[in-house]
Amino acid sequence: MAQASSIEWTNATWNPVTGCTKISPGCKHCYAERMARRLRAMGVPQYRNGFDLTLQPDALDIPRRWKKPRLVFVNSMSDLFHKDVPLAFTRRVFETMCDCPQHQFQVLTKRPEIALDMSSDLPWPPNVWLGTSIENALYAHRSKTLAKVPAAVRFLSVEPLLGPIPRLPLTNIDWVIVGGESGPGARPMDESWVIQIRERCIERNVPFFFKQWGGVNKKRTGRELEGRTWDEMPSKERELANGKVAVGTT
């Protein structure tokens, strides 16, 4: 339930919960759903329920075994703040993160309103980042909700970017990731949409990370924007020794 990751902005994934339900247009071609079905077909016991929401208590202690500091994407195969994840279990996940200050935990949700409702019942150590996904202007309000949660680092994953977001809210936001959709049925992303967000980040002094153009073959389309890569991170202090994730100067 944990492994090294090829995701450009993290080092490892950890999945104390698997499975989810779709709530907005960005979920249409969910990579986690495809992967969960594949793993169930392969007989992986943790995915016996496919993409149905499943708590994985056996995975709770995994980060405690990692001594080398890592950036850890929490629940790449689910959403910790899904309405069907009990508060008691979410607390156990946070207890593990509190017990592992050597790691930086990146929790990403499409449900920041639930995170906000739970926020007073959870500890918020400095190594826990909280992000929310935004796919178009109709869901930009998630950023304003996220900004009220007392996480040490708040970030936006604008992926898949499905339309222009001319006034992306960045108050109390520490980091922005942008990426196009990849895989079967990938919807196109216009360069002007990406540049618009990058320029807004520069104006507001918010680190900007461009993950990918996406498409059916994301390796072919690459991740350069106007002739360079954008790998900025929230702060230099969070750079990890293995150098997988570069740190920007903003």
Sheet order of strands, 128-133 included: 2-4, 12-14, 71-74, 104-109, 128-133, 153-158, 175-179, 208-212
Predicted local confidence at residue 1, as pLDDT: 67
Give 58: exposed, middle or buried? Use CB within 10 Å, 0-12, 13-18, 19+: exposed
Domain positions in the chain are 2-238
Predicted local confidence at residue 5, as pLDDT: 87
Tens of pLDDT along the chain (250 residues)? 667 888 999 999 999 999 999 999 999 999 999 999 999 999 999 999 999 999 999 999 999 999 999 999 999 999 999 999 999 999 999 999 999 999 999 999 999 999 999 999 999 999 999 999 999 999 999 999 999 999 999 999 999 999 999 999 999 999 999 999 999 999 999 999 999 999 999 999 999 999 999 998 888 999 999 999 999 999 844 444 334 443 333 3
Quote the CA–CA distance of 239 and 5 in Å, as a whole number: 16
- Cis check for the bond before 160: say yes or no (omega within 30 of 0): yes
DSSP states of 93-148: HHHHHHT-TTSEEEEEES-HHHHHHHGGGS---TTEEEEEE--SGGGTHHHHHHTT
